[in-house]
Amino acid sequence: MSKSVSGSVDVKMIAGACYIPKNDQEKTMGSDSHFIEEEVQAIGVADGVGAGEFARALMSKAAKEAKKHCLPNPYVVPKQVLRHAYFQSGKSSGSCTACIVALDENTLKAVVVGDSGFLVIRGGKVVYKSPVQLTEEFDCSYQLVAGTARGLDVAAELKLQMEAGDVIVVGTDGLFDNLFPEEIEAMVKVSLQRDDQPNVLAESLAKAALEKSLDTNCKSPYVAAAQAAGLVYTGGKPDDITVVAGYVQPYSKAKVNEFSSGTDWFHQMLKYRQKNAYIDPRKKYEYYESILNPHGQLRGLW
Ligand SMILES: [Mn+2]
């Protein structure tokens, strides 16, 4: 096993993702977007307002930028990636929150705008949670706004020392408004005991968040935030849910080909919908119907 200059073990991140768009017949793709770039050890998520066009453009540009900036400069600087991606997404309209993280040797560098974010779990405990940038209005976070450069000024740059064995969970508010950090912690523990790959962990977290989002009685972080704002609300918050899980492993252990894009529910759904759209429009949403009972609750599939 190689050692870095500081004496800590050299690490590499493997990652996997799961995206479950909200059950919304008007916006079949949802408005979250994400990327994983294995070569440059970078992950990004974004949560758009409206149809999500800007969030998708931003993440696709950011993925390209992350790779490009890797060439002259060996490591990705997330804030630069976000800035470059932002100015290249000019043709799209809308706004979004975003979070990009990149592992640079043993340092995790990140940029956060609004309530997309990440947490780090070490030895079974959440040791770090990225700050959420909220405006004074309840449930309204800072956003990057297309065409104005607004939001870049509030983008928070973060740096953390990572250790082999750390788990990074990057997500949109669809994850963090529904699962408490302790719940994420517990699920990470179970997943690691089972030796799950990161995409399997991402999928379990996304499904758990989905389940809570559809439960009108549960306690959720969203309820806690609403109460703090003097509002009455019960249950989870239905939303698009994006989860990317990253395992920080000793360099010798992490195999490049383990770094995968994970379960793509979105594309499964799209395929289903494309196949069925011209047969019977009523069948178009059978996918969701197959996982939800007539009351809109999840069937016991997991
Ligand atoms: Mn959201």
C-alpha 133 to ligand 1 mean position (Å): 14
Here the tokens at position 99 are 């979070």
C-alpha 19 to ligand 1 mean position (Å): 12
C-alpha 20 to ligand 1 mean position (Å): 11
Please report the pLDDT score of residue 190 as a whole number: 97
C-alpha 195 to ligand 1 mean position (Å): 29
C-beta separation of 42 from 101 below 8 A: yes
* Digit-coded pLDDT (tens) for 233-255: 889 999 999 999 999 998 776 54
d(CA 124, CA 122): 5
Please report the pLDDT score of residue 2 as a whole number: 42
C-alpha 113 to ligand 1 mean position (Å): 13
C-alpha 73 to ligand 1 mean position (Å): 33
C-alpha 233 to ligand 1 mean position (Å): 17
Please report the pLDDT score of residue 135 as a whole number: 78
Please report the pLDDT score of residue 227 as a whole number: 87
Q: Max Cα separation, the chain?
A: 63
For residue 205, which of 78, 119, 103, 110 has the smallest C-alpha distance?
119
Please report the pLDDT score of residue 75 as a whole number: 72
C-alpha 116 to ligand 1 mean position (Å): 8
One digit per residue, pLDDT tens: the chain, 302 residues? 344 444 567 888 999 999 988 887 777 788 999 999 878 899 999 999 877 889 999 999 999 998 886 554 557 899 999 999 999 987 788 899 999 999 988 999 999 999 999 999 999 999 999 999 887 777 778 899 888 877 888 899 999 999 999 999 999 999 999 999 999 999 999 999 999 999 999 999 999 999 999 999 999 999 988 888 888 888 999 999 999 999 999 877 654 433 344 444 444 444 444 433 333 333 334 444 444 555 555 544 33
Please report the pLDDT score of residue 139 as a whole number: 75
C-beta separation of 187 from 201 below 8 A: yes
- Domains in the chain (CATH in brackets) are 11-172+242-261 (3.60.40.10), 264-302 (no CATH)
C-alpha 3 to ligand 1 mean position (Å): 40
For residue 13, which of 265, 244, 174 has the smallest C-alpha distance?
244
* Digit-coded pLDDT (tens) for 139-167: 778 899 888 877 888 899 999 999 999 99
Please report the pLDDT score of residue 46 as a whole number: 96
C-alpha 206 to ligand 1 mean position (Å): 13
C-alpha 34 to ligand 1 mean position (Å): 13
C-alpha 222 to ligand 1 mean position (Å): 12
d(CA 101, CA 117): 9
C-alpha 98 to ligand 1 mean position (Å): 11
C-alpha 291 to ligand 1 mean position (Å): 21
For residue 174, which of 51, 16, 293, 23 has the smallest C-alpha distance?
23
For residue 7, which of 120, 104, 75, 106 has the smallest C-alpha distance?
106
* Geometric angle at alpha carbon 195, from 59 and 168, rounded to 5°: 35
